[in-house]
Copies of this chain bind each other. A is one copy, B any other.
Amino acid sequence: MIDVCLLGTGGMMPLPNRLLTALLVRYNGKCILIDCGEGTQIAMKKKGLSAKPIDVMCFTHYHADHISGLPGMLLTMGNAERTEPLLMVGPKGLEKVVNSLRTIAPELPFEIKFKEINGDEMSFDLEGMPEFTITAFKVNHNITCYGYTMNLRRQGKFNVEAAQEKGIPRDFWNNLQKGETVTTDDGITYTPDMVLGEERKGIKLTYSTDSRPTDSIVRNAAGSDLFICEGMYGEPDKLQKAKEYKHMTFYEAAKMARDAEVKEMWLTHYSPSLVNPMEFMSDTKKIFPNTIAAKDGRSCTLRFTE
């Protein structure tokens, strides 16, 4: 299962009751933060979450509302005496931007590793967890910007009868179930495909903000259990503004959710001028019924379905 918490839902600037858009994802003891604007550490504290165990920080792009909280977050992690290395992932220029911001956070008790995204798409696994893959995909904003999809694969069912028929010793079943190939002392090799059924449906989570609608979003979000997408404007007459500033309206997001056949969509990254997102939900739900106008701190646990 994957725990998801949308820490903030604002765009541009933090407001007293709407902090900047950032996502915290937790899977099997690993903690991933996407974006870290001014006040993201406040949002975490509001939810009772500690900054210390963040393993990976992914950045969509380097506009201030997505990274301005970084120096403070790093220092708070340092003050909590974190020593494990931190992996940062982001568009080209990552190390330069981070080091510029670290002018005011120069001393940290942990190492930062950088993974710059090259090209239109890049995938990587969480260390030691080959079943969990993060994919960054290019979107269309006024600077280079990426969305992120997280895929948790689920292997097929263990076929006890097949294992018995093939005479595989019980001691090896657990390893095979974990997807490991084993070899007996007699030199006989057993592979997982001998006892595992077809890969079952896993869990898919997609996060995309600061973009015009793109094919890359629809393609990468396809079949997501949860699709978190920017909805900068709810007012239909702000479509022109959305085009100009390379953002999108609720309705454009809903069309993508529909085309990508996701299970549920959460809107986020509201313009400060958008006081009450609920006002526009009725029309949005006509396009994609399972749309939710998220509020700060919205959480859920995504589980495997049988």
Measured CB to CB, the residues of A under 8 A from B are 12-16, 37-39, 41-42, 45-46, 62-65, 67-69, 71-72, 75-76, 79, 96-97, 100-101, 103-105
Contact = CB atoms under 8 A, between A and B. Distances in A.
A72 B79 contact: no
A63 to B, nearest CB: 7
B15 A42 contact: yes
Given A38-B38, A62-B104, A64-B72, 10 more contacts: A14-B72, A37-B72, A38-B39, A38-B71, A39-B42, A63-B104, A67-B104, A68-B71, A100-B100, A100-B104
Contacts of A41: 13-14, 38
Contacts of A62: 103-104
Contacts of A67: 104
A205 to B, nearest CB: 26
A156 to B, nearest CB: 45
Contacts of A71: 38, 64, 68
Contacts of A76: 13
B100 A38 contact: no
Nearest to A16: B46
7 contacts: A12-B75, A14-B72, A15-B45, A38-B68, A67-B104, A97-B104, A100-B104
Nearest to A12: B79
Contact of A16 (B14, B45, B63, B75): B45
B64 A42 contact: no
A101 B104 CA distance: 8
A83 B39 CA distance: 26
Contacts of A13: 41, 72, 75-76, 79
A79 B12 CA distance: 9
B68 A104 contact: yes
A85 B75 CA distance: 32
A68 B278 CA distance: 33
A68 to B, nearest CB: 5
Nearest to A100: B103
Contacts of A72: 13-14, 37-38, 64-65, 68
Contacts of A75: 12-13, 64-65
A96 to B, nearest CB: 8
A49 to B, nearest CB: 12
A101 to B, nearest CB: 7
